[in-house]
Amino acid sequence: MLRGYIAQKKLKSSRQRDEIARIFFSMKGHVNLDELYRQAARVNPRIGYTTVYRTLKLLTECGMAVERKFADGQARYENVDQGEHHDHLICLSCGKILEFTDDRIEKMQEEIAARHHFAIKDHRLEIYGACADCLKKEKNSPSPPLGKGGYRGICR
């Protein structure tokens, strides 16, 4: 699919792009540009940061990856083939992202849309808070003052 998209756009195909795509598809979760670059550079030190950036852009444009921006504003990329639709729990302290599915939430969204004569094309649900590890740390330390928006913790 990527090669077809590259040919259609009359772009140059390269081994480096193929390597970057292969590495991206082997990674799990939500990958940022720096993480993918570090992995690619381990495999082939001649791969440049710009090549990784452009390859991620191509993967997104051709529908093989999706770009997500959570509260920290940093772009993360997700392999479209990694599974069904899912929602996200995002820790404001450590940045951990947990994926989950819940049929009740999906059903409720459909009911709300139907009640308002609305056709859902796409949606995303991101719930921000503190993960179990950070909650344990908070219990063992004095509470810091509330931050921006009433949240405790550091947004990364």
15, two tokens: 């081994």
Q: How many angstroms separate the CA atoms of 154 and 123, rounded?
A: 26
Kind of pairing between the strands at 87-91 and 65-69: unpaired
Q: How many angstroms separate the CA atoms of 116 and 148, rounded?
A: 34
In this prediction, residue 156 carries a pLDDT of: 38
Residues of the chain with CATH 1.10.10.10: 1-83
| 1-83 fold | Arc Repressor Mutant, subunit A (1.10.10)
Q: How many angstroms separate the CA atoms of 12 and 148, rounded?
A: 46
Cβ neighbours, 10 Å, residue 92? 22
Kind of pairing between the strands at 97-100 and 87-91: antiparallel
Structurally, at CATH architecture level, domain 84-156 sits in: 2-Layer Sandwich (3.30)
Confirm whether pTM is higher than 0.75: no
- pLDDT per residue, tens digit, the chain (156 aa), is 677 767 777 777 789 999 999 999 999 888 999 999 999 999 999 999 999 999 999 999 888 888 888 777 888 898 876 667 788 898 988 888 888 888 999 999 999 999 999 999 888 888 989 999 999 988 876 655 544 444 444 433
Inter-residue contact 123 to 130 (CB < 8 Å): no
The most distant pair of C-alpha atoms in the chain lies apart, rounded to whole Å, by 59
Q: How many angstroms separate the CA atoms of 15 and 122, rounded?
A: 34
Inter-residue contact 76 to 31 (CB < 8 Å): yes
In this prediction, residue 14 carries a pLDDT of: 87
Residues of the chain with CATH 3.30.1490.190: 84-156
Q: How many angstroms separate the CA atoms of 54 and 43, rounded?
A: 18
